[in-house]
Amino acid sequence: MTVRVMLISPGMNAALREARFAGDAPLDDSGLRPARAAAAAGSVPVADQWLRGPSRRCHATAEAMGLLPDTERALRDWEMGRWSGTRLSEVSADEPDGVAAWLADPAAAPHGGESLLELCARVGGWLDSLHGGGPGRVLAVVEPAVIRAAVVHALALPPLAFWRLDVAPLTVTELSGRAGRWNLRCGRLLVPEERVR
């Protein structure tokens, strides 16, 4: 059976604007307004199963879109250890060698959290588990790092391709496939920007 996985990135928040390793930063009004507009416009895709990452930002985005998804721990954000909550510029100034290793070596985790390889394996394991004859359409509100890891896994990309993928707030990335062969449709806006104002 073909599985269709629709991954929605949560709305904007201050941590994203500040290039901060988010930790569990909440959604703000600049993220709530377009999420509510997507719900009002009927732009939220139909699914058989609704999930979300455990972050407050994913929870608030799903709620603003009128969804009541189950929390899926496998879809949690990238665990950044001691870097959590700090700005990339601060970490780069304090630990330039650690940041360089993190960006160049997918097995490195100088922050004490997950390596890129571990993130991709966790998210990939969840994605692969969907081929067991479960729901045909799965919608999940998840952090951008989770979406990027899913794309890397699904398309069997080299891990460092992760750094070349951008995921904008409130976009849908769709993976559809059967028996581990996935096709990608990425970056569809949930609501046109002019309808958010």
Domains, the chain:
3-79+114-195 (3.40.50.1240)
Among 92, 93, 118, 87, residue whose Cα is nearest residue 103: 92
Q: Which amino acid is at 108?
A: A
Instruction: Report pLDDT digits (tens) over 146-175.
Output: 999 999 999 999 999 999 999 999 999 999
Average pLDDT over residues 116-128: 96
% of residues, the chain, pLDDT over 90? 70
Written as six digits, the tokens of 32 are: 């709530």
Alpha-carbon gap, residue 36 to 165, rounded angstroms: 26
Per-residue confidence band for 90, with pLDDT thresholds at 50, 70 and 90? very high
Predicted local confidence at residue 133, as pLDDT = 65
Lowest average pLDDT, out of 40-44, 101-105, 132-136, goes to: 132-136
Q: Is the dihedral of CA 74, 11, 157, 6 positive or negative?
A: positive
pTM for this prediction: 0.92
Predicted local confidence at residue 25, as pLDDT = 78
Average pLDDT, the chain: 90
Predicted local confidence at residue 22, as pLDDT = 75
